[in-house]
Amino acid sequence: MRDEGDEVRPEQTMQDRAYQTLRHALIVGKLPPGKGISLRAMAEDLDVGVMPMRAAIARLSAENALTVHDNRRVSIPEMTTDRFDQLMQARLLIEPTCAMRALGAIDEATLARIRAHDDEINRSYQIGDAELYMASNHAFHFEIYRAGRSEVLTHLLESVWMQFGPFMRTVYGAVGAVRLTDKHEMAIDAIERRDVTRLKLAIEADILDGMDLLGKSIFTQPAEMRSVSAASGQA
Amino acid sequence: MRDEGDEVRPEQTMQDRAYQTLRHALIVGKLPPGKGISLRAMAEDLDVGVMPMRAAIARLSAENALTVHDNRRVSIPEMTTDRFDQLMQARLLIEPTCAMRALGAIDEATLARIRAHDDEINRSYQIGDAELYMASNHAFHFEIYRAGRSEVLTHLLESVWMQFGPFMRTVYGAVGAVRLTDKHEMAIDAIERRDVTRLKLAIEADILDGMDLLGKSIFTQPAEMRSVSAASGQA
DNA sequence: GAGCGCTTATTGTGATCACAATTATTATGA
DNA sequence: TCATAATAATTGTGATCACAATAAGCGCTC
């Protein structure tokens, strides 16, 4: 049985709307690390009821994108060298695999969108728009990964990205202007040539570039615990 | 098990209790894939209010441990070859790394607990207790991983394990009795000798063994209807 | 006996209120 | 002036009710 108007199914609920809004804010780093997230206050800010906001916060907390303290209070996660280490390790492990799994499913239309995202990244550099960079960079990567329909793996990656979004945004001003050799174009080139090995290397290199840049700026923290290298072993 | 230590801080809330209960049921595979999870019905079963159960279900759903359909209805995830592929891929990527990160932090007391879990696994084989096997196997692995305090990575792994728990339990009857060369003892041996490479190999081999066993049972018919039977003959 | 329309039951979503605990603020003391 | 106690505001947790949408039963007709 079917309905003529298909607005029945994808009718977005309030909690979905609240979730998407907060999630996007995390990804582009609109909220600073350590900032407290209050139920009623945030509900007021996003102009949404308390119940949807409660569901949204619970969901983000379950995805490790928000930190819940012993007080049952919630806040934007603070970055530590150890957490940064694990997040980048997770990226290095999962993202190349995701990209390789997706390569065969990237058609011309998808590739066009990937290029468009990369153009947006370049534009963000020129105009110095940090949030645009964050959003476009996320879109670029997940346009690739999502093409492979690897729901399980991409879900893990979404969690990882939301966790370092706020921190990454705070250090954008210090390192964001610097641009190394573009690994994104290398990835696009690999996709065009259907070269899985090169695509894997491009993704790895892109992550390592980011690690190298962001890793340095972590030493501003009260760094009593600092493990030197970000990722130890590499397969 | 654990008793009340300092009840001031970690005073468990109702939603935590509901979450832990459901989570344990998923890990040991007490609930069959495809089974619908209703809010009020499950709240009645676990003898808990509707609000805590709603929070628990939302949390598990966010961790991909429960499937939420377009009807907004929730059920135990069904296994497919593609999902199984991704889950085992995630294990192979993350778990060896987690074990290596933890090795240096495994003291004698932790090692004793690891051995105890392995003994429980062996006991579960003898008495044919599937749920005991599932619980002990989970405890064995995460006793290792958690020693490294890699909260980010272990959180990802917990999500992965909950996703294949129900499916793994259904095929236990068919393949559970079989025991290959024990990779757990190999892992314990590697820990004793502080051999990171050997530990990594042991974990990898253990996962591959499980994949080999479980993977076969997936290659049955387009198995939408076969997900129920637990102890059926295997070709 | 199988398909169809109606009624009933159950579902998830959301709002609203109550409560205890914690935090912030103010008043009061030396 | 500064520490301290009392008060007020804000927090998360949980219960209860309302509502629309969907699923399940059930009687009916052909």
Give A132-175 pLDDT, tens digit per residue: 999 999 999 999 999 999 999 999 999 999 999 999 999 877 66
Give B2-49 pLDDT, tens digit per residue: 333 232 345 899 999 999 999 999 999 999 999 999 999 999 999 999
Is the Cβ pair A152, B62 closer than 8 Å? no
| A58: confidence class by pLDDT, cuts 50, 70, 90 | very high
Q: Which CATH superfamily, name and number, covers A81-220?
A: GntR ligand-binding domain-like (1.20.120.530)
Shortest CA distance from A84: residue in chain B = B152
Handedness of CA B150, B153, B155, B161 (dihedral sign): negative
Q: State the fold for domain B81-218.
A: Four Helix Bundle (Hemerythrin (Met), subunit A) (1.20.120)
> Percent of chain B having pLDDT more than 90?
75
User: For strand C, which residues in window 154-193 of chain A come within 7 Å by CB?
Assistant: none
Phi, psi dihedral angles at A211 (to 5 degrees) = -60, -45
With an 8 Å Cβ cutoff, is B68 touching chain A? no
User: Would you kindly state where each structural domain of chain B is located, as residue ranges?
Assistant: 14-75, 81-218
Handedness of CA B25, B28, B31, B34 (dihedral sign): positive
* Amino acid letter for position A208: L
* pLDDT for position B11: 81
With an 8 Å Cβ cutoff, is A13 touching chain B? yes
- Does strand C come within 7 Å of the CB of A49? yes
**Buried (b) or exposed (e) across B154-164, using 16+ Cβ within 10 A?**
bbbbbbbbbbb
Is the Cβ pair B94, A90 closer than 8 Å? yes
Residues of B in contact with A163 (CB under 8 A): 152
| B66: confidence class by pLDDT, cuts 50, 70, 90 | very high
> Percent of chain A having pLDDT more than 90?
76
Give B117-169 pLDDT, tens digit per residue: 999 999 998 888 999 999 999 999 999 999 999 999 999 999 999 999 999 99
With an 8 Å Cβ cutoff, is A39 touching chain B? no
Give A101-110 pLDDT, tens digit per residue: 999 999 999 9
- Does residue B214 carry a pLDDT above 90? no
Looking at domain A15-75, its CATH architecture is Orthogonal Bundle (1.10)
Cα A99 to chain center, whole Å?
A: 15
| A15: confidence class by pLDDT, cuts 50, 70, 90 | very high
Scan residues 90-129 of B and list those with Cβ closer than 8 Å to A.
90, 93-94, 97, 100
The CATH code that applies to domain B14-75 is: 1.10.10.10
Is the Cβ pair A62, B64 closer than 8 Å? no
């989970």: which residue's tokens?
Answer: B138
How many angstroms separate the CA of B17 from the C1' of D14? Answer: 14
* pLDDT for position B68: 97
Tell me B67's DSSP state: E
The interface predicted TM-score (ipTM) is 0.88
